[in-house]
Every structure is written in C-alpha cells, then in structure tokens.
Structure 1
C-alpha cells in the first residue's frame, strides 16, 4: 500500500520526467516520437523510483529507452534542480517501457480483424467428442 508521501513524490516525478524527456527530444531535433510517463512507483524508503514510459510509435520504444538510459544522470540532475524545494533526496530512477497501450491495441485488432473466431469458426480447434 502506497503512502500519501509516496503518491505525492510519484506525481511530482511523473510530471517532471515527462517534461524533461519531451524537452530533450525536441532539443535533439527528434520529431514524430511521443513519449509519455504513464506511471511512477516509488519505494517506501523513497530511494528508488520506477518510471514507466509509453512510447509512440511502438517500434521506437527500445531505441528511446536506450537513449534515456544513456543520459540517465543528466535527467536525474535536471529533475533534482526542479524538485529541490520539494524533495530532500532525489530517488534513483529506473526506466521501463509500459506496453499496456500496445497490448490493448493488439487485443482490439484481434477482435476487429480478419481472424475473428466469432465469425470464422474454422479458426478454433474442434472439440473432440467423447
């Protein structure tokens, strides 16, 4: 169960990490990639924060994650500057890809798609009668 302090810090980090990453992408001249921070989980001792990012288009996810991890210390420094009045100690940040939107999209396509087992019963394996 998350404490109110954990939730507050997670909210602050979520907003600031998203801002810093979007600004870094703009400054690098990268266009057509949208990065949003979907969730931040902070440990009870406030020393670690897991940052989950949703990246569009999905195929750019691994590339963006590698770039973010390469400049991890600069991102942490910029966020520490922004949050110096709210946090005594800046948590260590770990970045992950949140693929839940891609998963939902794949489910929708499976239901809408040509291979819909509701309409085409031949896609399902036949049950053996005993």
Structure 2
C-alpha cells in the first residue's frame, strides 16, 4: 500500500516540478531541463529528482547550482500545489541513463557496420 502512495506522490512531484522549472524559474543559469524521474522515500522525507540537462558539463554544473539555490523556492511552491503535510527534501541528481543508452546504441551500430564490411 505504501509503495503505491509513494509512486503516486513521486509522479505528482515530477509533474509539478517540471512545470515550475519551465514556467516560474527566472535564473539564467538554468538551461533546458527535463525531469526524468522522482524517487520518494517510503516516509516521504526525501525525494531524489533525476534531471536530464541539455549542454556540456559546465552548463550542467551551473544548472545544478541554480537548482540547489532555488531549492527553498521549489519546496514552498510544491507545498502550495501538492497537498502534503511535509514537503519532501529535494535532492537533484543527473540522469545518466539517456547518455548511457545512446552510447550503447552507438557501439552496437559500429559493430553492425564492421560485420557488414
């Protein structure tokens, strides 16, 4: 039962954070961000927010700094939009799975090209 609730809360946080970051944030350090997932602990005290950022490593670092700086704003706005007794602490992490998947696809393509020649 608790896993279902944490999943629903995670999806709602993901939806609201995506909207907040795209429309409400004015920080120039924050570039194009996609919230790819949110993992919420079973006691709803922490939420790991997985992000995909368009750009190089320098832009990713600047985006992460901007989000850490805006953590309080995001939590307060999230509290207004999602009806929870305690809004979880937000921990931002980069989602490496997209880059990993594209790297594997590229390697498989290279192997296919070698077999054809």
TM-score range, shorter chain: 0.7 to 0.9
Post-superposition shift, 1:111?
Answer: 3.2
Aligned partner of 1:55 in structure 2 is: 53
> Which of 35, 38, 43 does residue 36 from structure 2 map onto?
38
Change (3 A) 1:108 1:2: farther
Specify the SS of the correspondent of 1:45.
Answer: coil
Aligned partner of 2:17 in structure 1 is: 17
Contact 1:58 1:102 in 2 (8 A): no
Change (3 A) 1:58 1:110: farther
Contact 2:27 2:66 in 1 (8 A): no
Post-superposition shift, 1:58?
Answer: 4.8
**Alignment gaps of 5+ in structure 1:** 121-130
Specify the SS of the correspondent of 2:114.
Answer: coil
Aligned partner of 1:87 in structure 2 is: 84
> Which of 91, 94, 98 does residue 97 from structure 1 map onto?
94
**Alignment gaps of 5+ in structure 2:** none
| Structural RMSD (CA) | 2.5
Specify the SS of the correspondent of 1:57.
Answer: coil
1:90-129 CA-to-partner distances (Å, cap 9, x unmatched) read 111111010111111222233335xx59728xxxxxxxxx
> Partners in 1 of 2:29 and 2:47 — Cα distance?
26
> Partners in 2 of 1:112 and 1:38 — Cα distance?
26
The aligned runs of 1:65-84 (5 Å cut-off) are 65-83=64-82
> Partners in 2 of 1:73 and 1:105 — Cα distance?
34
Q: How many residues were matched structurally?
A: 114
